[in-house]
């Protein structure tokens, strides 16, 4: 699986301590995991023990088929209504996104500027770091390049999809930088993992 479990554990713990983490298994055998501004959908037959162990270590027992739970520190797990996978449907209607080398610090979080068809957008580096094509198994297809669907940056292969929500600029200078980057040509570079 193209997930860096050490990076995933960090964002899982942060969300578990604050707003909570939602985790479930559809009747058709698809794990859906999401926190604040990110989502992972993975086929339960292809899931790795490392991935599942990372989630269980932070949240607790994995749900049974058809169960969806919200896990939050200081609260008992709360049952949720069953959800359907969204990210693979999103990938059918996406536009190309390019990751730039430009960084912006926002509220003590490092953000990367992403070139999208609609202009420059921000993505949280901690969330972006969970996607790591080097973690693919030998028999696994590499993930697609990042693509944009609405407010989501999406990457997937035949067994897993990851979506990361774009971050809105919090301050006027950041908004101005994004406006300027969107209006002029400048040097965009795809990350080495995604170069063809």
How is the chain split into domains, by residue range?
5-90, 93-148+166-187
Q: How many CA atoms lie within 13 A of 127 on its CB side?
A: 24
Helices (H) and strands (E) in the chain, counts: 5, 12
What's the pLDDT at 83?
Answer: 85
Buried b (16+ CB within 10 A) or exposed e, 122-158: bbbbbbbbbbbbebbeeebeebebbbbbeebbbbbbe
Q: Which residues of the chain have pLDDT under 70?
A: 184-196
Residues 6+ apart with CB under 8 A from 28: none
Buried b (16+ CB within 10 A) or exposed e, 97-112: bbbbebebebeeeebb
Largest CA distance in the chain: 51
What's the pLDDT at 189?
Answer: 54
* pLDDT tens track for 138-192: 889 999 889 999 999 999 999 999 999 999 888 888 888 888 888 755 555 554 5
What's the pLDDT at 186?
Answer: 54
Name the token pair of 172: 């006027």
The label of the residue with tokens 């707003």 reads 19
Contact 157, 140 (CB under 8 A): yes
What's the pLDDT at 57?
Answer: 93
Contact 95, 116 (CB under 8 A): yes
Q: Across-strand partners of 153?
A: 148, 164
């Amino acid at each position: 699986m193209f997930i860096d479990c050490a990076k995933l554990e960090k964002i899982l713990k942060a969300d578990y301590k604050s707003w909570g983490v939602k985790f479930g298994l559809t009747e058709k055998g698809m794990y859906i995991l999401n926190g604040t501004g990110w989502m992972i959908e993975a086929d339960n037959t292809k899931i790795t023990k490392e991935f599942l162990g990372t989630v269980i270590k932070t949240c607790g027992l994995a749900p049974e088929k058809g169960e969806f739970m919200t896990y939050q520190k200081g609260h008992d797990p709360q049952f949720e209504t069953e959800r359907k996978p969204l990210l693979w449907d999103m990938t059918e209607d996406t536009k190309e996104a390019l990751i730039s080398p430009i960084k912006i610090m926002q509220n003590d979080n490092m953000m990367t500027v992403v070139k999208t068809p609609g202009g420059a957008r921000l993505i949280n580096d901690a969330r972006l770091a969970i996607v790591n094509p080097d973690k693919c198994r030998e028999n696994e297809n590499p993930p697609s390049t990042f693509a944009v669907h609405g407010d989501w940056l999406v990457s997937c292969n035949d067994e897993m999809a990851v979506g990361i929500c774009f971050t809105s600029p919090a301050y006027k200078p950041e908004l101005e930088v994004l406006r300027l980057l969107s209006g002029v040509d400048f040097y965009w570079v795809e990350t080495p993992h995604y170069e063809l």
